[in-house]
Amino acid sequence: MIKKEYDAKLRKDHLLNDNGEEEKKEMSSLRPLTLKEYIGQDRVVETLKIAIDAALKRKEPLEHILFNGPPGLGKTTLAHIIANEMGTKIITSSGPALEKGGDLIGLLTHMERGDIFFIDEIHRIPKIVEEFLYPAMEDFAVDFIFDKGVHARTHRYRLEQFTLIGATTRAGLLSSPLRERFGITRDLDFYNEKDLARIIKRSARIINVSIDDDGAHEIAKRARGTPRVANRLLKRVRDYAQVKADGLITKNVAIDALNLEGIDELGLGDIDRRFLKTIIFNYKGGPVGIEALSATLQLESDVLIEVVEPYLLKTGFIIRTSQGRKVTERAYRHLNIGNFDRGLKLWDTSTDPY
Ligand code: ADE
């Protein structure tokens, strides 16, 4: 791949969390397999541990669990850990992959007592499939419907008592009947720098690269509070350290490598800056609706809502109002746009935008 294409791919990967197959494989080797190894999300981990220990003591399957939070924070990892800790199988699927009721029934009828059924992006499950899920979750049964109209008959098929683990980046899009059928709901939040630095050091040990404390903290600072991003940045910095330095990741090596990747000291990348600058220069700082932004940026609104915005909201670069998104003064300062000391208005864009 020529350098320009490669850079474009890196940027897209950074934005969409869309790794190549090889990288996906390498990433999964970094996943912790037990709750003990899991770093961060302390309250979530603690409460899960209690639920697992109690279920094991009672020799019962776990209740259904819903994980909600931005991509890359560990929802899938936790589902695998739970299966591991419970000593059961995990069967994985995703909302968009379950197109018909039959897709779901095929999987459910093969499940043994206590097995985990993991549905990623559960908010994207089609309505007709969702309706099969209700009796499956509540009564451990699926209703087959034969014939149509007045001849319609149903046959109830018993399922083994399984545990559904759903993961979503948009809990608000779940219908309330579905949401109410989960016994345990946990929101995952962005990680702090300290926990991310620990994750980076653990990953560095696994992929066999040397890193010092300051190097790990520098990557952690730029990882958008997200372990998946942290691990990806670690690999880019490892490459850089091996080619341009003597293989050791120090603070300066991390700074140089990540600056080259277009990742700034707060973790913002090209897309984040384009997002903020579009609001500032095209929409006078906002408020602007997400569909208008999506059209201007030529990026799907779902990607903006699920991938780009959560971190910008968390770090206070944008706010959401009933009229749409607005950038904050913090964003102007960070991007060095406008001159606050001379009292220029926020949307005074006399400084060159792009
Ligand atoms: N790798 C990715 N996420 C992790 C976590 N939360 N703890 C340990 N290692 C990880």
Is pLDDT above 60 for 129? yes
For residue 196, the CA-to-ligand 1 centroid distance in Å is 8
Q: Which of 77, 115, 120, 315 is catalytic?
A: 120
Q: What is the pLDDT of residue 176?
A: 95
Q: Using CB atoms within 10 A of its CB, is residue 237 exposed (0-12), middle (13-18) or buried (19+)?
A: buried
Average pLDDT, the chain: 91
Q: What is the pLDDT of residue 309?
A: 97
Parse the chain into domains and list their residue ranges.
31-187, 193-260, 270-335
For residue 316, the CA-to-ligand 1 centroid distance in Å is 25
**Is there a catalytic annotation at residue 314?**
no
For residue 273, the CA-to-ligand 1 centroid distance in Å is 27
What's the pTM? 0.89
Is pLDDT above 80 for 293? yes
- Residue range 311-315: average pLDDT? 97
Tell whether domain 31-187 is in CATH 3.40.50.300: yes
Q: What is the pLDDT of residue 349?
A: 54
The ligand 1 site (C-beta within 6 Å) comprises: 30-32, 37-40, 74, 77, 199, 202, 227
For residue 80, the CA-to-ligand 1 centroid distance in Å is 12
**Is there a catalytic annotation at residue 120?**
yes
Which atom of ligand 1 has the smallest separation from the CA of 39? 7
Q: Per-residue pLDDT tens for 231-240?
A: 999 999 999 9
Q: Per-residue pLDDT tens for 40-70?
A: 999 999 999 999 999 999 999 999 999 999 9
CATH of segment(s) 270-335: 1.10.10.10
Dist. CA 349–CA 286, nearest whole Å? 13
Which atom of ligand 1 has the smallest separation from the CA of 74? 3
- Residue range 260-288: average pLDDT? 96
**Is there a catalytic annotation at residue 228?**
yes
Tell whether domain 193-260 is in CATH 1.10.3720.10: no
Is pLDDT above 60 for 138? yes
Residue nearest to atom 1 of ligand 1 (CA): 31
- Residue range 178-207: average pLDDT? 98
